[in-house]
Amino acid sequence: MRASYSHQSIENLKAEIDIVEVISNAIQLKKTGANYKACCPFHGEKTPSFVVSPDKQIFKCFGCGVSGDAIEFVKKYYNLDFIEAIEKIAKDKGFTLEKTAYDDSKDVYYKANKDAARYFVRSLLSRHNEAMHYLTDVRKMDIDIITKFGIGYADEKWDSLYNHMAALGYDEKTLSELGLISVNKGRKYDRFRNRVIFPIISTNGRVIGFGGRTLDNQGAKYINSPENPIFHKSNNLFSLNFAREYLRNSDFLIVVEGYMDAIGLYQCGIKNVVATLGTALTENHGKILKRYSKKIVLSYDSDDAGRNAAYKGVDVLRDAGVSVSVLHVDDGKDPDEYVKTHGKEEFLNLVSNAVSGTDYQLRHIARDYDLTTGDGKIGYVKSLSAIFEKLSPVEREVYAQKVGRSLDLDYKNILFQIGNQGKTEASKRIEKTVETGDRNLSTTEKVLFKIFFMDGSYFVKFKEHEFSDGVITTEMGREIFSLIENEISASDGFLDENRIKDAMNPEEGYKIDEIISGVPIVDVESSFVDCMSSARLAELGAKERRILDIIALADEEEEGQEAERLQIKLMKIQKEIKKLRGGVDL
């Protein structure tokens, strides 16, 4: 299990951080008055517009707009998540972070996977076999790439891995839970047999699962480790542990479908690439990708399955708040074959000419209609509502004009047909900027969870609420919210607090009892509205304070145009705060 640190320990570290010292470890700063300046490390520029304020302990680039504190800089510069960033800062300062109660129950799973991975690698490299022939002769893979990715081989025998792992002392239960073996009527046999093995490695370097490609066409072409305590397909991406090292020099991340595609592109020098694990892109994938890059290029196979997956992937990534484009390699079956045939530069040329996600979706739908006929045009326009409802008003007009030109129709009639109203939910949200490792629940979280236990329908209302993003802010709150979500999904809306407690750490299950018995609620609806209002006010207050700091910094540096833009933004926030404090219903 990944380390977790106490909230107080993190706050103590923040109090000792000197932002100038932290940023100076990465880039060269020049003192100018009360502040420091540099060329921004996050975008190309010749005139320094990156300002660091030691008084306010923040940085701001007046060129690309990026800003934040020392932790945010370390996260962005080194492509780390919050925990990794504070660990790096603490290590550099010689500061000891205080860990919360550590649950080492998962350590045996990580160790077992590591030992299994080593066994698979030895099986591949120790002798000539069909797997090595497939990798080097058929897929033209270099031996150093095979080694770097830790690719291995599961032989054709029924119990080679089991016998090896049993000799190391691993029990049947652990191996079965990890999906390394299967058990049927008391018989134990290896899950992966006669397959090339690809270890799936987390961003912190642990082997969390395996993918296996058949060598004899027996069974499925690819199989993955099953869902288990340390492996969840929807939360992980193959090769992300390698790709994130190269994102500082690239402003986009390529997402492909298969292991071979990711490895093939990597071998040809395109290293900002990841692959999904035999599953469609999920909401969690979108959140993970956004953490590392705001610009995603989907490069899926050109068959129908690949096209359909790309279409759905555009929606997922758009909802996550990233810019998405799509390319298909029509001159080859998949990206791996294309780059081996045409080379790195030709593939990067395809990337440069990838179409926007919306353009791709419009073209994808058009394939189902004969646009040379009146009926075909009408059917096509009617089918576009699902796409247009997710666009901003300006985007709708732009794409309506495109469709109108292609069909020789007035774009205003197209807008009328599909309904030109509303804004995307994503445009109404303010991005969360606070992460915390707090194991205590906020008052708002306690009230909200009590509401869910009283009436499960409010869980749906909360999920659909435009301001829900800023409510669940503590680590404990996120854990309980996830358990509630799973329970409601599994039981058709019924929420059993005992099942929630059973799923929690025994030492923390009492928090559910405190919520049930200790939070007084008379009117559920009014309490829910108050909850959302309070959370929104807190979020807006933090945003207001942040902008005030940056405006002051901009004034000092005479960044007039940027300061004016921020003043307008500040006025809007303060206006909304005033409305909320005046009792305006959300």
Tens digit of each residue's pLDDT (9 = 90 or more) over 315-331? 999 988 889 999 977 76
Q: Side by side, which strands form the sheet with 195-201? A: 152-154, 195-201, 207-214, 222-224
Compute the average pLDDT of residues 568-581: 76
Q: Specify the pLDDT at position 303.
A: 82
Is pLDDT of 434 > 50?
Answer: no
Q: Specify the pLDDT at position 495.
A: 67
Most confident of 98-102, 224-228, 575-579: 224-228
Is pLDDT of 432 > 50?
Answer: no
Percent of the chain with pLDDT over 90: 38
Rounded distance, CA 301 to CA 335, Å?
7
CB-based contact 563:554 (threshold 8 Å): yes
Is pLDDT of 583 > 50?
Answer: no
Rounded distance, CA 290 to CA 297, Å?
12
Rounded distance, CA 77 to CA 23, Å?
9
Most confident of 55-64, 371-380, 500-509: 371-380
- The string of pLDDT tens digits covering residues 76-124 is 888 888 888 999 999 998 898 887 655 556 889 999 999 999 999 999 9
The overall average pLDDT reported for the chain is 83
Q: Specify the pLDDT at position 492.
A: 57
Contacts 24+ apart (CB under 8 A), 120-124: 120/152, 120/153, 120/154, 120/161, 120/192, 120/197, 120/199, 120/210, 121/150, 121/151, 121/152, 122/152, 123/152, 123/153, 123/154, 123/155, 123/160, 124/151, 124/152, 124/153, 124/197
Angle at 137 between CA 131 and CA 140, to 5 degrees: 105
Estimate to the nearest angstrom the gap between the alpha carbon of 162 and the chain centroid: 35
- The string of pLDDT tens digits covering residues 435-474 is 333 467 888 888 888 888 877 788 888 888 766 776 787 8
Is pLDDT of 420 > 90?
Answer: no
Residue 12's nearest CA partner among 77, 112, 93 is: 93
Q: Provide the residue count of the chain.
A: 586
Which element (helix H / strand E) includes 198?
strand 195-201
Q: Specify the pLDDT at position 301.
A: 84
541's CB contacts (< 8 A; 6+ apart) are: 577
Which of residues 164 and 236 earns the better pLDDT score? 164
Which of residues 434 and 171 earns the better pLDDT score? 171
Reduce the secondary structure of 75-122 to three states and give it as a string: HHHHCCCHHHHHHHHHHHHCCCCCECCCCCCCHHHHHHHHHHHHHHHH
Is pLDDT of 29 > 70?
Answer: yes
Residue 380's nearest CA partner among 408, 353, 354 is: 408
Is pLDDT of 584 > 50?
Answer: no
Rounded distance, CA 152 to CA 267, Å?
17
Is pLDDT of 423 > 50?
Answer: no
What are the C-alpha distances in Å from 232 to residues 236, 316, 500? 7, 18, 20
